[in-house]
Amino acid sequence: KAPDCAGVSVRARRIPPSLGPLQRLAGTCKSSAMRTAASAMGAAGLSLAVLPGLAVAALSPARASLIRGMSYGPVPLKSVAGASQLPEDDWFCDEAVPMWGRAGRGDLHVIRNMGANFVRLYGNNGLNDHTNFLDEAGSLGLGVAAGMSDYPYYQKVPGSCRESTDFNCFTQVKPAYLLNLQRGFLTPSGQYHEALRYMNILNEPDLKMPPDATTGSEQGPIEMGRSLISAFDAILDAEREAGVNGPLINFT
């Protein structure tokens, strides 16, 4: 509390863009404490602003462009045995709306209110449609980083690229990514959904393709590289087949 600032309380807090223009604190409050806070926050790339009864820190344009992300994989079972009973771990499909949607728990809204501007996902079932999740994330100003499922790499039995095609993942990944493009990743005009920013080709490849890629024989890094390169080639070929146009997403 700053006694000579008409009851304005001072807190450092990131302001969502949806709040619109903010009244600048400069000239509003004359306390030395507030001036000191404003000076320190300015040096950190932040600026103080005032809402009714609340002084807050708004991000500078440079810092506002930084990714402030949160990983999202809300498995509702705490035991390994319980989690193993889940049919899949795709949490950005319509079946999970009661968790991430506004009509349910509203996880995406909570994540945005915590100051994040980005959400990173893991599981991905191409048979599920992901349009509604991307629409909801976009409406909240959240960028999305989706990821390929582990299924085509080593979970598919039989037929994974680790066990069946000597770490060449083209034939397994291309149809999986085509399904993603057809079920939410692309708009009717063939452009990527505006909320989708990144696609993770393979999560933690050094622990999976093969499991001892960085601790075993010299063949391990070669097989890991073959997995990643063939998968990326498959994704690019899927884009060409789907006629993707407009701004493209990044891959990691």
Express each pLDDT in 1-39 by its tens digit.
333 343 333 333 344 444 433 333 333 444 455 555 555
Per-residue pLDDT band for 58 (boundaries 50, 70, 90) equals low
pTM of the predicted protein model: 0.75
Q: Give first-to-last CA distance, the chain, whole Å.
A: 45
What's the pLDDT at 231? 98
**55 forms bridges with which residues in the sheet?**
10, 50
Up-side HSE of residue 78: CA atoms within 13 Å toward CB? 0
Q: Is the pLDDT of residue 190 over 80?
A: yes
Question: CA–CA separation, 136 vs 142, rounded Å?
Answer: 9
Counting residues of the chain whose pLDDT is more than 70, the rounded percentage is 77
Query: Helices 219-242 & 170-180, crossing angle to 10 degrees?
Result: 40
